[in-house]
Structure formats: C-alpha cells, structure tokens
C-alpha cells in the first residue's frame, strides 16, 4: 500500500538549426556550434556522491581506531518521523560508504543481537532542502559510553530516483507515531560534534533495536515475528511508545486477531490522550467532509477506532478539541470551512458512540496551515493532510 511521488521529470529539448543565406559569390561563414549542455548528474549518482562525502567527513572527525563497531538505527524522514522509501534508499547508500571510509570499523545490523556489541550508533534524517538543493541529509555518530556525539555531517542532493512514500509499517499505522522518542532521534541526528546526544534516545537504544527487528519483520510480511518483537518491546518500561502499540495492532489485524487488535488500539488512544499526541488517520476524500478516503485495507476499522477513542476519553475524563485538516489546494477560506466540517463529522461520530461526551468535545478547523506532506496533489500521496487530530482542551465552565 505504498504511494508513489514522481520526483524527477526528464525533458528532451529539440535543437533548432539556423541556416545563413549568403549573397552570390560570397563564402558562407559557418556559425560556431553551440556548446553542448552539461549532462545532468543521474539521481543515484548525486545521492552517492553526497553520502560518500559525508561518510568521509564522519571518518575524518572520528579519527583512527581499531576494533570499533557501529550500528545504524534505521534512518527516517525528519518531518514525519517515518521511515520512507527515500530514507531507506539513503541508508542503503550510507552503509557501504561507511564501510569504505571507516576501514577499521565493523558496520553491524541494528538489531537486538548486535545493539549491545556496538560502541557507536549512527542516526540519520532526510528532509526537503531549500530550492534548488532538493534534499538534506543529517547524520551523527554517538559514542554510547559517554553519550556524546563524536561526529556529525550534513549533505544535500537533488532527487534520488525513489519515492518519499512511507514504508509498509508506517503507511499502515492507524496513528502518526512521532512522539518524544522519535523527537530524540531527530535531535541527535542534528547534534553538533562534542555535544550530548538526546539522553532519552541513548537510554532507549536496547528497546529501539527490538523495534528495528519488529519493523523489518512487518515490512517483510512476517506477521508472527513482528508481533513477537513488538510485544517484547511493550514488556519493557521504555517500550510504551506509539510505534510499539501501532505495531501490535497491525500485526494482530494481519493475523486476523481482531479482539487483540482492538485492545492494542485502545492503548494507542490512551497513550495518545495521556501525552496529548493523538493523531489518528481518519482520512477524507478530497473536498469531502463526510466521505472517508477509499482504497485502504484498514479503513473498515474506523468505527472501532472511534469506539476506542470514545472509551479512552471517558476513562481519561479529558475534554478534547477535534481538529480537522485539509491538503494544500484551493483558497484558505474554503479549506478553513472544509476542515471544520471534517472535525464536526468526527465529533458527531464520537457523540454517537457516547452521548455523555457531547459537552466535552469541540471542533476546530486548521485548513491547510498544518500540512504534513504539503504537495497539494489531492491524491493518495497527500492523504495524511486530510486528517483529523485530537488535542486535550480546557473543559467548559
């Protein structure tokens, strides 16, 4: 269920030929041939050059040393906190570049087995850069014993021959998974050499390695393996994360264990409300305030999601602001009305689940002021921009 975004369009320009007519008896002087336009750098080559320079920069900062081990925590998109096809492509290019530059180091997979063996962990993010640079990569090497970033580098490249669509787990997840743990990862990737990495991120590395195992298994369609790994993460005190419970929910759905899936979604709703970070993918059709986005395998689960959100809200005792969003097309006024109407639709559905919530729910429209994707394509690629979020609000009276 991945969506594709066309990153690069190649155009072929026809050449015009100027013919000079000369007077009788005069020799024609041929016009100088125009200099050929420089051939564009292939996208994969541009990415490769950027990554090689960054790997060499990291090696130069780290210096020589024998017997060192490095693991690479899966790279993510900076804006969404998701693993994307592009971030995975950058990571795939980074691994051999690191092996070449850090000749005295062993580059190990980031998993529950190797995590404890590695002294250094590499984190990395990919994001849109200011035009015309295309994309920006930030990577950092953290020394685990000291908690300090010992090398940090950034690079830019144009295009990547790949998609910025999320990989399978992140595409399927019922809620956005960016939370305090993901924020710590992003901050660490941008931390300057000599400064402390995010302390929470470093402390959670053993659990992060289990989640990396689970992510790989889910993306490969190994539902039983993924469920076991996500459940192992949930059993740890620092495993109470949105991506953990999203994973338990998804694996159970794929295995046909719907009762267990509903229990897991209840934990997503409870954690989201407790941390004021509940952004559920109740996605709408373009231009509609009542019709949900079609074609998603799990869209039929929306009634259960709303049921669990209503239960969590009842148990939490909180008042909520239901916040509607739109993609970035059309006028601001139209999108303000549309986003508010979407929020009102979801508010009515929650009240239908539990009438006692009527006085504890309000609806707000944000228009397109808080888009996540921001392409304005009004298709599957920017469906996340047509979403609804839940924010803890002050109760009336």
Q: Which residue has the tokens 């002021």?
A: 369
Bond prior to 132 in cis (omega within 30° of 0)? yes
Enumerate residues 6+ apart whose C-beta is below 8 A from 31: 18, 20
- DSSP characters over 237-261: GGG--HHHHHHHHHHHHHTT-HHHH
What three-state secondary structure class fits 351?
Answer: helix
Q: What pLDDT score was predicted for residue 320? A: 93
pTM of the model: 0.84
In whole angstroms, what is the distance from residue 375 CA to residue 286 CA?
13
Tokens of 37: 């336009």
CB of 298 closer than 8 Å to CB of 175: no
Tokens of 320: 């909520």
- DSSP characters over 43-89: HHHHHHHHHHHHHHHHHHHH---SSEEEEEPPPEETTT---BHHHHH
In whole angstroms, what is the distance from residue 91 CA to residue 168 CA?
17
Q: What pLDDT score was predicted for residue 299? A: 58
Q: Which of 174, 156, 397, 200 is nearest to 305 (CA)?
A: 174
66, exposed or middle or buried, with CB in 10 Å at 0-12, 13-18, 19+?
Answer: exposed
Q: What pLDDT score was predicted for residue 377? A: 77
Domain ranges of the chain: 43-181, 276-397
Q: Which residue has the tokens 């267990």?
A: 260
User: How many C-beta neighbours within 10 Å does residue 23 have?
Assistant: 6
Q: Where are the alpha helices (DSSP H) in the chain?
A: 43-62, 85-101, 168-172, 180-189, 199-203, 205-219, 223-234, 242-254, 258-274, 302-316, 332-353
User: How many C-beta neighbours within 10 Å does residue 342 have?
Assistant: 27
Q: What pLDDT score was predicted for residue 162? A: 59
In whole angstroms, what is the distance from residue 220 CA to residue 381 CA?
22
Q: Which of 170, 185, 312 is nearest to 247 (CA)?
A: 170
CB of 164 closer than 8 Å to CB of 75: no
Distance set, CA 26 to CA 1, 17, 20, 22, 32 (Å): 69, 21, 12, 6, 18
CATH 3.40.50 for domain 43-181, yes or no, is yes
Question: What is the 3-state composition of the chain as percent helix, strand, coil, each rounded to the nearest 5?
Answer: 45, 15, 40
Q: What pLDDT score was predicted for residue 65? A: 76
In whole angstroms, what is the distance from residue 93 CA to residue 54 CA?
11
What three-state secondary structure class fits 364?
Answer: strand
Phi, psi of 318 (to 5 degrees): -85, 160
Distance set, CA 80 to CA 12, 69, 174, 265 (Å): 35, 29, 14, 20
Query: Tens-digit pLDDT profile for the chain (397 aa)?
Result: 433 332 233 333 333 322 222 233 333 344 455 555 444 445 578 899 999 999 999 999 998 876 789 999 999 999 889 999 999 999 999 999 999 999 889 999 999 999 999 999 999 999 988 777 789 999 999 999 999 999 999 999 987 555 778 999 999 999 999 999 999 999 999 999 999 999 999 999 999 999 999 999 999 999 999 999 999 999 999 999 999 999 999 999 999 999 999 999 999 999 999 999 998 888 888 888 888 877 555 557 899 999 999 999 999 898 999 999 998 889 999 999 999 999 999 999 999 999 999 999 999 999 999 988 887 777 777 778 888 899 989 888 7
What are 170's strand-pairing partners? none
Q: Give Rg (Cα) of the chain.
A: 25
Tokens of 123: 């984190």
- How is domain 276-397 classified at the CATH fold level? 60s Ribosomal Protein L30; Chain: A; (3.30.1330)
In whole angstroms, what is the distance from residue 224 CA to residue 255 CA?
8
In whole angstroms, what is the distance from residue 376 CA to residue 328 CA?
4
Q: What pLDDT score was predicted for residue 3? A: 37
């Amino acid at each position: 269920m991945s969506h594709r975004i066309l990153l690069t369009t190649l155009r072929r320009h026809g050449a015009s030929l100027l013919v000079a007519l000369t007077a009788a008896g005069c020799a024609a002087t041929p016009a100088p041939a125009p200099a050929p336009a420089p051939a564009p750098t292939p996208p994969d080559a541009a990415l490769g050059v950027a990554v090689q320079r960054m790997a060499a920069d990291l090696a130069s900062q780290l210096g020589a040393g024998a017997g060192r081990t490095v693991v690479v925590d899966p790279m993510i998109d900076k804006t969404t906190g998701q693993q994307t096809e592009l971030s995975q492509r950058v990571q795939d290019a980074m691994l051999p570049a690191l092996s070449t530059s850090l000749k005295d180091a062993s580059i190990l997979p980031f998993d529950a087995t190797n995590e404890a063996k590695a002294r250094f962990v590499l984190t990395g993010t990919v994001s849109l850069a200011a035009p015309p640079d295309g994309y920006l990569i930030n990577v950092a090497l953290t020394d685990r014993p000291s908690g300090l970033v010992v090398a940090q580098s950034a690079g830019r490249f144009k295009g990547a021959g790949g998609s910025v669509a999320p990989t399978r787990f992140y595409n399927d997840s019922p809620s956005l998974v960016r939370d305090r743990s993901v924020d710590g990862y992003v901050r660490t990737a941008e931390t300057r050499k000599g400064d402390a990495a995010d302390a929470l991120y470093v402390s959670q590395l053993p659990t992060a390695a289990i989640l990396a195992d689970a992510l790989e298994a889910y993306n490969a369609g190994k539902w039983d393996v993924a469920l076991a790994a996500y459940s192992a993460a949930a059993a740890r005190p620092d495993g109470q994360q949105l991506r953990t419970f999203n994973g338990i929910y998804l694996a159970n759905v794929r295995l046909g264990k719907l009762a267990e899936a509903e229990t897991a979604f209840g934990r997503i709703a409870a954690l989201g409300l407790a941390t004021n970070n509940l952004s559920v993918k109740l996605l709408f059709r373009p231009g509609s305030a009542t019709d949900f986005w079609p074609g998603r395998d799990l869209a039929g689960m929306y009634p259960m999601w709303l049921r669990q959100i209503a239960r969590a809200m009842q148990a939490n005792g909180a008042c909520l602001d239901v916040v509607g969003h739109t993609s970035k097309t059309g006028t601001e006024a139209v999108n303000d009305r549309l986003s508010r109407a979407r929020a009102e639709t979801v508010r009515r559905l929650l009240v239908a689940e539990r009438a006692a919530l009527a006085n504890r729910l309000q609806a707000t429209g944000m228009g397109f002021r808080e888009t996540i994707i921001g392409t304005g394509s009004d298709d599957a690629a920017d469906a996340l921009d047509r979403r609804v979020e839940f924010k803890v609000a002050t109760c009336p009276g």
